[in-house]
């Protein structure tokens, strides 16, 4: 009989605000045995993280908790602060999603790891230092002795996440709760971290509660899986069984939600829409009293590209590789060098009015649907803003009619046009952002990670919508993403960027099926098989 470590029974979490009651978690039951990894899967807002936080009572004060959570037979709900402190960080440890904000920027990593050692084990001085070096070695930080005095900002995202894991492991916990630990990381780093977690689990006999929205990860790391929807667990069972024979319709929907299909090539011959020659965005580094330029941050260096009408050019690469900078440079939203021609016209030296007139033909959709809509404007105002600027008004069509038609086109109910962005879900907001770009009837649209902030099922819908609009209006897309699966579904041709330069380019089929460079091969392996390729990518 395997020992049950954590048992959650009929857990409900309710929030009360302004007289309304929101039940975020509703009657959740789950168990985790020693050495087992349970994956908790669901879309954003399904209550995954709240369930995990409730196990050690880390919920906000406004939450009302009912049900029972037992840790090795000890009841956690209603336990006193001392018991909870003993268990937190000692028996149960957490790794959070955002490695940028979960380390204190004002302390060295030695101090941050040492803090919990001193707190729970009373280890200080040399003994603590030895243990810290041991931990850092274990999580794969090279030359740990020299890294002890490093500050968080001197580490890369992957290294920070490794430090977080070292902190979590400091007191030899029995259960590690990992809340989307790889979501904020690049695919290659994600693969490395997953490999590290699997290795630690084998070596230490750790149990894990792994929270994620990514089914690919679940299949790789978990023994059992629990699928959450709107605060309830709708299906639970061994990974193989749930993936091969899903019983609940929602599970089936999730499994089917991977963006599928390939971009259909445009019918007529290639007609260049936008070409860039030796496009370069360098930010000068200025020093001294006279602000002499002493060097450059080379964000984008000498990139040649061509985008045809009705085609999608996928731009992939890790964060910081200059994808977004390239797009902003091409749109002339930031100063860029090189030659850019658009619709047969040279635009790299346009300014003022000429540039403003250009805006109606080139549009951009941003990644974050929460940040890209002004919270103080109604949807109708947001969508109609561009119309007013360019004086585009079809005869016999009021602005509201134009907005209504556009909303219908992107799959929104025009009756909602007087609402404010906060009343919409992430997917709906992204549709609003798309409507805002499309109402000007542009020729060229930059899609800057338009699906990254969305849930899987919504991603597919947005991809379908974008493909549909492209077919209908022969739009040229510059599609930026780090998610190669979405790029595979959207792009006709693509370029792979690294450190501001193109490392590989070609048709999507070529690059995906027969990557020529080692870097592209590592990227594909990490994205599709979650495999870390040693040596190809530094963390």
Partner 1 sequence: MEAPAPAIPAPARGLFTLSPLNRRRVRNFRANRRALWSLRLFGVLFLLSLCAELIANDRPILIRFQGALLSPLMTDYPETFFGGDFETAAVYSDPVVQCLIRTGGNIEGCLDQADGLGPAPVAEGQAKGWILWPLIPFSYSTVDYEVATAPSSPDARHWLGTDDQARDVLARVIYGFRLSVLFGFGVTALSAMIGVLAGAAQGFFGGWVDLTFQRVEEVWSSMNTLYVILIISSVLAPNLWVMFFIFVAFGWTAIIGVVRAEFLRARNFEYVQAARALGVGDWRIMVRHLLPNAMVATLTLLPFMLTASIGLLAGLDFLGFGLGQGYPSLGELALQGKKYLQDPHLAITAFLTFAIMLSLMVFVFEGVRDAFDPRKTFR
Q: Site residues (CB under 8 A) for partner 1?
A: 17-18, 331, 333, 356-360, 362-364, 366-368, 371-374, 376-378, 385-386, 389-390, 400-401, 404-405, 407-409, 414-415, 417-418, 420, 433, 436, 440
Strand ranges of the sheet holding 63-71, from the earlier edge strand across to the other edge:
20-33, 4-17, 63-71, 74-75
Please state, in angstroms and rounded to a whole number, the distance separating the CA atoms of residues 471 and 478. Answer: 15
CB closer to partner 1 out of 359 and 393: 359
CB of 143 to partner 1, least distance (A): 37
Close Cβ partners of 18 (under 8 Å, ≥ 6 residues apart)? none
Phi, psi of 105 (to 5 degrees): -70, -10
**CB of 453 within 8 A of CB of 481?**
no
Nearer to partner 1, 259 or 386 (CB): 386
As a whole number of angstroms, the distance between CA 236 and CA 231 comes to: 14
Shortest distance, position 191 Cβ to partner 1, whole Å:
29
Per the DSSP assignment, residues forming a β-bridge with 69 are 8
Q: Can you state the angle between helices 399-409 and 426-438, rounded to 10 degrees?
A: 120
- Residue with Cβ nearer partner 1 (368 or 501): 368
Asked if 162 contacts 139 with a C-beta cutoff of 8 angstroms, the reply is: yes
CB of 508 to partner 1, least distance (A): 26
Contact 147, 139 (CB under 8 A): no
State the minimum distance, in angstroms, from the CB of residue 321 to partner 1. 20
The residue among 412 and 484 lying less far from partner 1, judged by its C-beta, is 412
Question: Whose Cβ is closer to partner 1: residue 297's or residue 357's?
Answer: 357
Q: Which is nearer to partner 1, 378 or 517 (by Cβ)?
A: 378
In whole angstroms, how close is the CB of 39 to partner 1 at the nearest point?
32
Alpha carbons 74 and 332: distance in angstroms, whole number? 62
- CA dist 201 and 199 (Å) reads 5
How many C-beta atoms surround the C-beta of residue 5 within 10 A? 21
Q: Nearer Cβ to partner 1, position 316 or 435?
A: 435
Nearer to partner 1, 64 or 418 (CB): 418
Nearest distance from residue 286's CB to partner 1, in Å? 12
CB of 539 to partner 1, least distance (A): 29
Closest to 430 measured CA to CA, from 472, 367, 493: 367
Q: How far is the CB of 61 from partner 1 (least distance, A)?
A: 11
CB of 292 to partner 1, least distance (A): 16
The torsion angle over the Cα atoms of residues 520, 521, 522 and 525, rounded to 10 degrees, is 120
Phi, psi for 438 (deg, rounded to 5): -80, -20
Q: Are strands 501-507 and 493-498 parallel, antiparallel or unpaired?
A: antiparallel
Residue 420 or 528 with smaller CB distance to partner 1: 420
Identify the residue whose tokens are 């243990």: 131
Residue 118: DSSP 8-state: H
User: CA-based Rg of the chain, rounded to a whole angstrom?
Assistant: 26
């Amino acid at each position: 009989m395997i020992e049950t470590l954590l048992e959650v029974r009929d857990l409900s979490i309710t929030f009360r605000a302004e007289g309304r009651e929101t039940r975020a978690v509703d009657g959740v039951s789950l168990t985790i045995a020693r050495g087992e990894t349970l994956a908790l899967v669901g879309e954003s807002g399904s209550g995954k993280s709240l369930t995990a936080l409730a196990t050690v009572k880390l919920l906000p004060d406004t939450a009302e908790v009912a049900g029972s959570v037992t840790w090795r037979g000890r009841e956690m709900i209603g336990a006193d602060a001392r018991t909870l402190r003993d268990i937190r960080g000692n028996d149960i440890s957490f790794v959070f999603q955002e490695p940028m904000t979960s380390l204190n920027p004002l302390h060295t990593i030695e101090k941050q790891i040492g803090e919990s050692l001193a707190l729970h084990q009373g280890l200080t001085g040399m003994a603590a230092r030895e243990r810290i070096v041991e931990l850092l070695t274990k999580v794969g930080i090279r030359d740990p002795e020299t890294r002890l005095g490093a500050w968080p900002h001197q580490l890369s995202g992957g290294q920070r996440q490794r430090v977080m894991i070292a902190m979590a492991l400091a007191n030899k916990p029995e259960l590690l709760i990992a809340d989307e630990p790889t979501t904020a990381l690049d695919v290659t780093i994600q693969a490395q971290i997953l490999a590290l977690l699997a290795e630690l689990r084998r070596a230490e006999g750790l149990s894990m509660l792994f929270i994620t929205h990514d089914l690919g990860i679940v299949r790789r790391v978990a023994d059992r899986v629990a699928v959450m929807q709107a605060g309830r667990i709708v299906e639970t069972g061994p990974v193989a069984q749930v993936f091969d024979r899903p019983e609940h319709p929602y599970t089936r929907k999730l499994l089917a939600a991977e963006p599928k299909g390939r971009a259909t090539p445009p019918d007529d011959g290639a007609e260049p829409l936008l070409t860039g020659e030796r496009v370069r965005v360098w930010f000068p580094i200025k020093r001294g009293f006279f602000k002499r330029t002493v060097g450059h941050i080379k964000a984008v260096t000498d990139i040649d590209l061509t985008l045809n009408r009705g085609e999608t050019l996928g731009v992939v690469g890790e964060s910081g590789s200059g994808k977004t900078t390239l797009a902003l440079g091409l749109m002339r939203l930031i100063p860029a060098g090189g030659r850019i021609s658009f619709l047969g016209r040279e635009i790299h030296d346009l300014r003022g009015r000429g540039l403003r007139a250009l805006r109606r033909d080139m549009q951009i959709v941003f990644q974050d649907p929460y940040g890209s809509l002004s919270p103080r404007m109604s949807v109708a105002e947001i969508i109609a803003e561009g119309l007013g600027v360019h004086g585009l008004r079809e005869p016999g069509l009021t602005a509201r009619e134009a907005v209504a038609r556009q909303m219908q086109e992107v799959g929104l109910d025009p009756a909602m046009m007087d609402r404010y962005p906060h009343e919409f879900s992430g997917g709906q907001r992204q549709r609003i952002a798309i409507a805002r770009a499309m109402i000007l009837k542009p020729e060229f649209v930059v899609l800057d990670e338009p699906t990254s902030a969305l849930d899987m099922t919504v991603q597919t819908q947005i991809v379908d919508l974008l493909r549909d609009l492209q077919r209908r209006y022969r739009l040229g897309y510059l599609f930026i993403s780090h998610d190669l699966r979405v790029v595979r579904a959207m792009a006709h041709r693509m370029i792979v960027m690294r450190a501001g330069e193109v490392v590989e380019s070609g048709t999507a089929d070529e690059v995906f099926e027969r990557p020529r460079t080692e870097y592209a091969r590592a990227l594909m392996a990490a994205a599709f098989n979650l495999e870390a390729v040693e040596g190809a990518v530094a963390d």
